[in-house]
Amino acid sequence: MKVEVSAQKLVESGAHFGHMLRRTNPKMKRFQYTVRDGNFIFDLIKTKGHLEEALELLTDAASKGKKILIVGTKKQIQDQVVAFAKETGSFWVSERWLGGTFTNFDQIKRTLNRSQETKSKMNSGEFKGYTKKEKLMMSWSIEKTEKMMGGLTGMEKTPDIMIVIDTKKEFAAVNEAKLVKVPVIGIVDSNGDPDQIDYPIPANDDATASVSYILSLMKDAIMAGKGSSPKSEEVKTEKKEKAEKKETKSKEVKAKAAKAKKEAK
């Protein structure tokens, strides 16, 4: 299923508003429609085309069971990022990108595993003999790790695709993705560099409504892909077979009841 992009909704969400011209990256000129009151205005026809390309990629990736990571650390979008990740079964970074998340991934994974083990031991009462201060220190360490890296729990390797909101702000994440060859889908505002992004979506990355609409489309694209995945088809087939068996059994029971009733007469 192809996810439809509405140019009207892009306009309503304010996706076409860029920064003031003096803050515009010259490389973004190719996505400019006009200038209004000294501000950059995106050509939403081009935005729509690039967004559709990114959505197709996400649908295909989800259908193949590929792992997706979303990065967005702006205060106004943190909740949206976490909700998006949980609803689509993706990983996330919403607090701060830690240097080495990709380039030193084994260390990140070890830190997460150690934190999870400590938490499990605390819950099972293995640290009963420890002092109150020692327990508090461990709890603080676990809380800090979960806050910074909790969205990466269960990620066994670097992701297959990374979604970035505000590629200029998240330049460290983009740079690491390039080093380890993780394709990046990024919302690029007029002050960003589209040449650093594999699948740039030229749009306003500051307006909550703009980001919200684009994320809703990405969510639909991923869920559409999951719905057409081989695993999903197996589940559908299994459900269908169970329903057929149930129906057959019901018919047999009804037939026996009818036969018994007839014989009783």
pLDDT block averages, 10 residues each, the chain of length 265: 92 97 96 96 97 97 97 96 97 95 94 87 81 86 87 95 97 97 98 97 97 97 82 49 67 66 61
pLDDT for res 124: 83
pLDDT at 182: 98
Half-sphere exposure of 100 (CA within 13 A, CB side): 7
CA angle (68, 73, 78) in 5-degree steps:
85
- Give Cα 91 distance to the centre of its chain: 6
Give every CB contact of residue 76 below 8 A, 6+ residues apart in sequence.
Answer: 208
Confidence (pLDDT) at 258: 66
According to CATH, the topology of domain 7-102+158-228 is: Rossmann fold (3.40.50)
The one-letter amino acid code at 161 reads I
Nearest by Cα to 222 from 105, 88, 75: 88
Alpha helices in the chain (DSSP H): 7-12, 44-63, 78-88, 105-123, 132-149, 171-179, 208-227, 230-264
Burial of 106 (0-12, 13-18, 19+ CB in 10 A): exposed
Q: Is the dihedral of CA 76, 79, 85, 91 positive or negative?
A: positive
